[in-house]
Amino acid sequence: MYGIGLLKGLAVTMRNMVSPGRQFTLHQYPDRRVGLLGLAKQANTNLVSYVLREPAMAAKSLIGLATVKDRMPQHPRFRGEEFVWYEERCTGCASCAKYCPLGIIEIVTHPSGDAMQEGEKYAIDVFDIDIGRCMFCGLCVEACPYDAIHMGSGFEESTYVREELVIDVDRLRSAPKRPSTWFRPQLEGKGYQPLDGQEVSWKDVGRHQMPDDSELEDRWAKR
């Protein structure tokens, strides 16, 4: 009343301007403007030694031109593009294709003649995922009984042509193996972070511990 509410509002905005209690809503990406302090922090030195070591960069930062690379903070469970697919694990059962709500996975296989003892493995001819229509729901990942397909963690797949958004089997083979931990709780808790860049081999992504050689021999002997 009497404009006191208005003044209170002004106080709130001013407080948020001079010292935002919480962080900014926005995150600068892919590079971030930094001041001198930020630069020194990134180089892991104190201010003075940084200025002495890299005067050019320091001067740049003073007129607000210095940038450093940065990325979005992201949880390991983030469901991203670039599916991570392990050919070694995939049997071509096409469960993933069946469970995709949009039906955008296409799989063509033929009997490979490999591994006849275990019941013959199928060779994958076609494994197309049309990520232009994918909604990254992760149901395919949930459906795969062999832990062969995982969500990726990237989100920078933009192209100029729609066709390029179809990920084919070659791209799946060569894509970096940095699976998201979505629906793969076994990957969690090991301190694994897809953004760190370390890759995970097919042996480690399974739900079950891989038996070691002696155990395997043992098992085979019993058969």
> Which residues are registered as beta bridge partners of 124?
109
Choices 34-42, 130-138, 165-173, 197-205; region in contact with ligand SF4 by CB under 6 A: 130-138
CA distances from 102 to 67, 92, 105, 139, 214 (A): 41, 19, 8, 10, 44
CA angle 10, 15, 16 (to 5 degrees): 100
8 A C-beta contact, residue 105 and residue 128: yes
Widest Cα–Cα separation across the chain: 90
In the numeric block, which tokens belong to residue 64? 């607000």
Interactions with another protein, residue window 143-182 (CB under 8 A): 143, 151, 180, 182
Question: How many residues interact with another protein (rule CB under 8 A)?
Answer: 48
Q: Which of 104, 137, 165, 175 binds another protein (CB under 8 A)?
A: 137
99-115 per-residue burial string, b: 16 or more CB within 10 A, e: under 16: bbeeebbebebeeeeee
Interaction between residue 74 and ligand SF4 (CB under 6 A): no
Interactions with another protein, residue window 24-53 (CB under 8 A): 24-26, 28, 33
Shortest distance in whole angstroms from residue 83 CB to ligand SF4: 7
Shortest distance in whole angstroms from residue 59 CB to ligand SF4: 48
Interaction between residue 34 and ligand SF4 (CB under 6 A): no
Interaction between residue 107 and ligand SF4 (CB under 6 A): yes
Task: Enumerate binding residues for another protein (CB under 8 A).
Answer: 1-6, 8-14, 16-17, 20-26, 28, 33, 63-65, 74-75, 77-79, 99, 101, 135-139, 142-143, 151, 180, 182-183, 185, 188-189
